[in-house]
Amino acid sequence: MYYWLFRLFPKSAFSRMMGWFADRAWSPRILRLVIRFYVWFYEIDMREFALPIASYSTFTEFFTRPVRPDSRPVLSDPRMLASPVDGAVSEAGTIRKGRLIQAKGRDYSLELLLGGDPGWKSYENGQFATLYLSPRDYHRIHAPCAGSVRRFRYVPGELWTVGPAGVKGVPGLFSRSERLVTFLATEFGEVAVVAVGATIVGRIRVVYHSLTSNRPGASPLAETLSEPFPLAKGSELGRFELGSTVILLTRPGEVELHPLRPGDPVRMGSPIGRVL
């Protein structure tokens, strides 16, 4: 039902309009009231964050608020993979015949998810974890391990909701949504971090490039950086400006993800897998 109701809705244009509002410098009094209502409604513990409510001049600044480092300790063991985000597991498992599970009875193409990247087959029989960020969650993305970004792919697409309605109702949701794929080269191999955009603003930003997603007339981009961009484990990789989902991909024989079930909570910096 959700799919048929919203397939013709101008999701990208609507999200850009909402982004314009979120970026405006409102009256400080009104903004504080809106933020306080948001915090109350979603039961956000502001003690975990670095700045108080009065510090933000736009809603976007609040939404991308930084956490206090001591509230998200990153495990130091180099043989352990850390969760790149706060959120909850949507699905997790093994990549079989080039397909990933979206929800019960639905799967989608790994090749399409990675925007046709020539290395997509190397993830066959590897593992994936789809991590959903709700409106209450911390919305920055961090490196799950130490490594360097050497290439990435940006794939323009649609901006459906990535909540339960979208996951259950939209065929091939993650392979048709706007997304930015970061390939992280590591000492043990490679990890792919797929940031998926969603309705309401839908912007994705990364620290290693000036690209911003959800732009009118955007074209696909596959780029190799002139110099690898190093990232320490737990350092910021990017952020969502309202939305969404991160899909973590590992290759066979390199990493084993912990057993993860739909609904399991994850927290940035906590263990999510181990290097083989």
Active site members = 86, 142, 244
Q: Tell me, what DSSP letter sits at residue 265?
A: E
**Element of type H or E holding 237:** strand 236-241
The residues, ordered by sequence, that sit 6+ positions from 17 with a Cβ below 8 Å of its Cβ are: none
> CA 211, CA 207: separation in Å to the nearest integer?
9
Q: Tell me, what DSSP letter sits at residue 199?
A: S
> CA 181, CA 166: separation in Å to the nearest integer?
20
**Element of type H or E holding 227:** strand 221-231
> CA 144, CA 104: separation in Å to the nearest integer?
27
